[in-house]
Amino acid sequence: MEIFPAIDLIGGKVVRLSEGDYSREKKYAVSALQAAQSFFEAGARCLHVVDLDGAKSGRAENAETIESIVKSRDMFVEVGGGIRTFDQIERYLDCGVRRVILGTVAVRDFSFVERAVQKFGSAISVGVDAKDGKVAISGWKEVTDINSLEFCKRLKEIGVQHVIYTDISKDGMMKGTNLEVYRVLCQTEYPKITASGGITFVDEVKKLKEMGVYGAILGKALYEGKIPLAEAVQVAKD
């Protein structure tokens, strides 16, 4: 299983939100480059970066900061937030991003995802953010009536190989993740799943690995010292 330490950006600064609420933002006294460096030194070789400004605006607001992160270390970097055009996908891939994450656009224009997968293949991932089992979009501000699990199945049918599934109610709360939903998502009718949202304990990393989850995103628990990254990386390898 792959471990993806998370760097969420607002105004170029590293932040974490609680339950996706932009009014409950916590800034950290570390730059994006410093965070990436510390994760690399702890043994991580993957990185999950989100442009939170872009998730709301629909534009790549923190692209320059993200490009500097990618160029700073030889890591597998996936990026999400505000990616809604082929031009932006190509810009990120050209600078060294290995996988881009489509979110809101996947709901508003499903055919865009189909075309993106045809053009970019496994470099396309989709972020499925769920609130009470329904897909949320636009920086989690709008909750649709789309069943999140059924949406994941549709994504696999059109060739999407990776989905990042987040239970919004768990995100940033440091009370544990939704292990039950990941047990369901590890069944064959779903794409490869990266677990995101609320992973707080090393034991959860072990359980996710045993389920067969492809990856796990660690965020606030890293910044708050709840999970030692080096230990999580080792557990994921063992």
Q: What is the pLDDT of residue 29?
A: 60
- What residues does 164 pair with on adjacent strands? 127, 194
Domains in the chain: boundaries: 2-237
Determine the Cα–Cα distance for residues 136 and 132; give it in Å rounded to an integer. Answer: 10
Pick the residue with more confidence: 104 or 160? 160
Which residue, among 115, 116, 117, 76, has the nearest Cα to 99 in the 3D structure? 76
Q: Please say if the pLDDT value at position 202 is more than 70.
A: yes
Backbone angles phi, psi at 224, to 5 degrees: -95, 0
Q: What is the pLDDT of residue 60?
A: 87
Q: What is the pLDDT of residue 20?
A: 64
Signed CA dihedral, 22, 28, 29, 35: sign only: negative
CATH class held by domain 2-237? alpha beta
For residue 8, indicate whether it is catalytic: yes
Percent of the chain, pLDDT > 70? 97
From the list 51, 53, 129, 167, the catalytic residue is: 129
From the list 8, 51, 53, 167, the catalytic residue is: 8
For residue 53, indicate whether it is catalytic: no
SS3 114: helix
Signed CA dihedral, 158, 185, 4, 142: sign only: positive
